[in-house]
Amino acid sequence: METYKAYTDSDLASLIGNGDEGAFSEVYNRYWSRLYLHARKMLRDEDQAMDIVQDIFTILWNRNVDIQINTSIKTYLYSAVRNHTLNYSNRGKLKDKYLDSLSEFLERGELHTEEQVNFRDFARRIDREIDSFSPKMKTIFELSRKQGLSNKDIAIELNITDHTVKKTINRALQRLRTQVSSFLF
């Protein structure tokens, strides 16, 4: 059985890129607890910190061939944890903002029956337009708008460039604007 403890991070990164499970295990054992402490410090939530670190290692293993680590593996892992933690925090803020808005709306009770019908019809039209997108455009749009992922995270997840993500989202928004304006006017 080969021992990986003597290997450098760059050696391990190369081996992981070739699907070497032993190298992956060594990186996991070498960095898991450090990354967990880093995420826990940022989030102040043990369970979520654990989930984020597990997600990072799952992504690293599942995309080992596709991921290109241009820095040290340590830097890559810490950056990934930081980015996932920030995305998690931003989604939480977005969720809180939405819940506050919904609560405020319910307290005011502003929508009347006709407005509710119009709103539902409008929402259905938007959903139909999104459903008519190509599978790639729909996936990118939903990851951006429904899951709150950044362009960079979407690019990493789908193994495409940031530019492609940005361009696709802009095309999707343009199609929606056209559809919405035709519905409103």
**Tokens for 58?**
């799952």
Please tell me the distance from the alpha carbon of residue 85 to that of residue 98, in angstroms, as a whole number.
20
87, 42 contact by CB (below 8 A): no
- Protein fold of 111-185: Arc Repressor Mutant, subunit A (1.10.10)
Domain extents for the chain? Answer: 1-109, 111-185
**Tokens for 163?**
């530019």
Q: What is the distance, to the nearest Å, from the Cα of residue 8 to the centroid of all Cα atoms in its chain?
A: 30
Per-residue model confidence (pLDDT) at position 1: 46
Q: Which CATH architecture has domain 1-109?
A: Orthogonal Bundle (1.10)
Please tell me the distance from the alpha carbon of residue 110 to that of residue 116, in angstroms, as a whole number.
10
For residue 177, give the amino acid letter. R
Per-residue model confidence (pLDDT) at position 167: 92
Please tell me the distance from the alpha carbon of residue 151 to that of residue 127, in angstroms, as a whole number.
22
Task: Going residue by residue through the chain, which has 185 residues, state the pLDDT in tens, using 9 for 90 and above.
Answer: 468 888 888 888 888 888 888 888 898 998 899 989 888 888 887 888 888 889 888 888 887 666 666 677 888 888 888 888 887 766 665 555 656 666 666 566 555 666 677 778 877 888 888 888 888 998 998 888 878 888 888 989 889 998 999 999 888 888 888 777 766 55
35, 53 contact by CB (below 8 A): yes
Per-residue model confidence (pLDDT) at position 46: 86
Cβ neighbours for 16, distance < 8 A, ≥ 6 positions apart: 23, 24, 27, 60, 61, 64, 73
Please tell me the distance from the alpha carbon of residue 59 to that of residue 124, in angstroms, as a whole number.
34
Q: What is the CA radius of gyration of the chain?
A: 21
The mean of the pLDDT values for the chain is 80
Hey, is 7 helix, strand or coil? coil
94, 144 contact by CB (below 8 A): no
Q: What is the distance, to the nearest Å, from the Cα of residue 30 to the centroid of all Cα atoms in its chain?
A: 25
Cβ neighbours for 22, distance < 8 A, ≥ 6 positions apart: 1, 2, 4, 15
Check: pTM over 0.85? Answer yes or no.
no
